[in-house]
Amino acid sequence: MCGIAGIVRHDIPARTQETRLRAMQARLRHRGPDGEGVAFDACAALAHTRLALLDREGGAQPMVSPDGRHVLVYNGQVYNYRELREELRDRWTFRTNSDTEVVLAAATSWGPACLERLNGMFAFFLWDRERGHGFAARDRLGVKPFVYRHADDEFLFASEAKAILAALPGRPRAHREAVLEYLVAPCFSGVERPMFEGLEHLPAGHWLEISAEGLRVERWWDYRLTGEVGGDPDEAAGELRARLETAVRRSLAADVPVGLFLSGGLDSTFLAALARPKPLSFTIQFEGQEKYDYAHSLIVTSDDTPFARMAAAELGLEHRIVPVERAGLLADLDALAAVNDALPAWEQEFAQYHLSREAARHRKAVLVGDAADETHFGYPFLLDEAATRSPAQILRRFSCAPVRRDVLADPLEHFARKYMDLAASAGHRWGTPRERTLATTYLVVKRWLARLLHNGDIHAMAWGLEARVPFGDADLLDLVRRIDPQLGFREGVEKWLLRRAGAGLLPEAVRLRRKSALPKDQEVQAVYQHAVAQTLDESPEIAGAYLEVPRLRALCDPARRLSEPERMLLFRTIALASWARQYEVEVA
């Protein structure tokens, strides 16, 4: 829901920044096609673009407190806003029925302590006119984005990096480390920092303060895995099902109907089974998908379409297949690179892009199954002791980037050390198998899931569509982070407890279906090879700034049958070149 942006300076009047602010707002119009607004103070200029899902008449932003002291721009959905509204009635006279006003009342009444009480997805900025002080925060998992730049006596923020670029002079420069991570570890990339030099992400579960004294960033929540919930699996499964049911009910709160992305897998089908009323559902289907070689695929292990149709029929869903033709994929990849300013990381983004475009024609919001795999022990490689021995083992499964040795001598170990340090900072170790599972799960949540959520938000909001994540519900997360890995994995089956929780509710073929990622076109090798060869002929300096060009050219030989990681590398090479051209990025 919505796009937010702002400029804070303490040396010149905020009104002088109106042209820059309007340029930022224009870059976010796709996120909020239903309205827009601006507000100015002595030091702050704030902008908003609105996607109206609650209280269309009363929820306009920027929203100002009754006393005129505080101004809020907010993006997201707080699912427990009705309960919080009741708690705040003694402190606040509500004028609207929007969750925006609840966030404004909570933040001004409780300060940073409000964050623990907000259950939902959110990124917001609250300006205190009296103190000349800004307060920003981001939700637990980072479902909603917040990008900022603090330099040259000013603070800029926005929902997307491209909006900040609109307020800056000259060409943007690529952030070398971020782009290298994208090439070497795509599933973990683009979330520690944006791809553009000088920009930062407010991390998930963090808040910041900005004033004339400077910038302060603090963590208010982390995904602490304790593994303390074991014992009776039926009791744990019952509690899990009850909390998920509540999460789905909360996620459906809107003044308009909410749809569903239905893969025919466990996660999205579970949401469909619990949703009331039944949502309109959408399933992607690539050309020739039924003929793919799933036996040798890394993460796409079966055809979604038959399972999605079965689930829709048994659960009584209105169901739409969204077809994708191979002939348009290169043009689509250019569109992906324009939309995703963090660079398209994996081919499944084609599916997110097309699903979002079609769903936006019929709905303003959809439920998605994101966060289930990462928080419910859903990845089969976590069952492989070799894969969890260190982050480098995971990277080897998905990466084959020929990074220039003069740029980075040992890229896998370089990034693996960073990821091990990240897990260690939360108290995790790579000792016993159980410790390695918990450490790897923490890393997957902090980096893999963060990238997945970024992609889900940016592709949906490109079409003015809000992607809601019931598996990110705060009460549900509080339970699942305490589940012992032995209940997550049992009998060689991933998501064992979640599967048990769905017994009797889901079609058995779906409930027991092996984990499979969103589909992608497996027959695009020739298309990618031709495009990369052309890129290396026309703009060799882009890929050549990071990769060994002769080794890339060798992959373009039509006689060579590519492995899946090699094909994914060509995808990223095309995306990098398109991104650099469209944003006029200086890559060196």
Burial of 365 (0-12, 13-18, 19+ CB in 10 A): buried
> H helices within 298-377, ranges in order?
304-315, 329-339, 349-359, 372-375
CA angle 332, 335, 339 (to 5 degrees): 140
Residue 492 pLDDT: 87
Distances (CA, A) of 307 to 60, 189, 313, 491, 538: 41, 31, 10, 23, 44
DSSP character at residue 424: H
Tell me how far apart the alpha carbons of residues 240 and 234 are, in angstroms, rounded to a whole number.
10
* CB 338 within 8 Å of CB 570: no
Residue 147 exposure: Cα atoms within 13 Å on the Cβ side: 24
Of 283, 362, 269, the closest CA to residue 319 belongs to 283
Tens place of pLDDT per residue across the chain (588 aa): 699 999 999 999 999 999 999 999 999 999 999 999 999 999 999 999 999 998 888 899 999 999 999 999 999 999 999 999 999 999 999 999 999 999 999 999 999 999 999 999 999 999 999 999 999 999 999 999 999 999 989 999 999 999 999 999 999 999 999 999 999 999 999 999 999 999 999 999 999 999 999 999 999 999 999 888 888 999 999 999 999 999 999 999 999 999 999 999 999 999 999 999 999 999 999 988 888 777 777 777 788 999 999 999 999 999 999 999 988 989 999 999 999 999 999 999 999 999 999 999 999 999 999 999 999 999 888 888 888 888 998 888 888 899 999 999 999 999 999 999 999 999 999 999 889 999 999 999 999 999 999 999 999 999 999 999 999 999 999 999 999 999 999 988 999 999 999 999 999 999 999 888 777 777 889 999 999 999 999 999 999 999 999 999 999 999 999 988 999 999 999 999 999 999 999 997
Looking at residue 231, its pLDDT comes to 81
Residue 56: per-residue pLDDT: 86
Residue 377 has which token pair? 């022990």
Compute the distance between CA of residue 315 and CA of residue 324 in angstroms, rounded to an integer: 25
CA 515 – CA 497 distance, rounded (Å): 14
Closest Cα partner for 296 from 562, 1, 32, 65?
562
What is the chain's Cα-based Rg? 23
| Fold of the domain spanning 233-511 | Rossmann fold (3.40.50)
Domain spans of the chain, in order of start? 3-174+190-219, 233-511, 525-582
- CB-CB neighbours of 170 under 10 Å: 8
Length of the chain: 588
pLDDT of residue 380: 84
Q: Strand pairing partners for 322?
A: 284
3-state secondary structure at position 299: coil
Query: What single DSSP character describes residue 517?
Result: P
Q: In 3-state terms, the chain is what percent helix, strand and coil (to 5)?
A: 45, 15, 40
pTM of the entire structure? 0.96
Please enumerate in sequence order all residues whose Cβ is within 8 A of that of 518, keeping only pairs 6 or more positions apart, or say none: 263, 284, 300, 304, 348, 351, 352
Q: Alpha-carbon distance 332 to 322, whole Å?
A: 15
104: left (phi > 0), else alpha (psi -120 to 50), else beta?
alpha
Helix (H/G/I), strand (E/B), else coil: 110: helix
Output the six-digit token pair for 14. Answer: 């905020």
In this prediction, residue 520 carries a pLDDT of: 77
How far apart CA 308 and CA 265 sit, in angstroms, is 7
Alpha helices in 444-524 (DSSP H): 450-461, 474-480, 485-488, 496-501, 508-511
Map residue 126 onto helix, strand or coil. strand
Do the Cβ atoms of 110 and 91 come closer than 8 Å? no
Distance CA 337, CA 586 (A): 16
Q: Which CATH class is domain 3-174+190-219?
A: alpha beta
- Report DSSP letters for 535-587, one per residue: HHHH-HHHHHTTB-HHHHHHHT-TTPPPPHHHHHHHHHHHHHHHHHHHTT-B-
Q: What is the pLDDT of residue 368?
A: 98
CA 34 and chain centroid, separation = 23
- At residue 302, the pLDDT reads 85
Closest CA relative to residue 106, chosen from 247, 41, 122, 466: 122
- 3-state secondary structure labels for all residues of 213-278: CEEEEEECCCCCCCCCECCCHHHHHHHHHHHHHHHHHHHCCCCCCCEEECCCCHHHHHHHHHCCCC
Three-state DSSP class for residue 374? helix
Give the span between the Cα atoms of 103 and 101, in whole angstroms.
5
Query: How many whole angstroms separate alpha carbon 188 and alpha carbon 190?
Result: 7
| Residue type, position 5, single letter | A
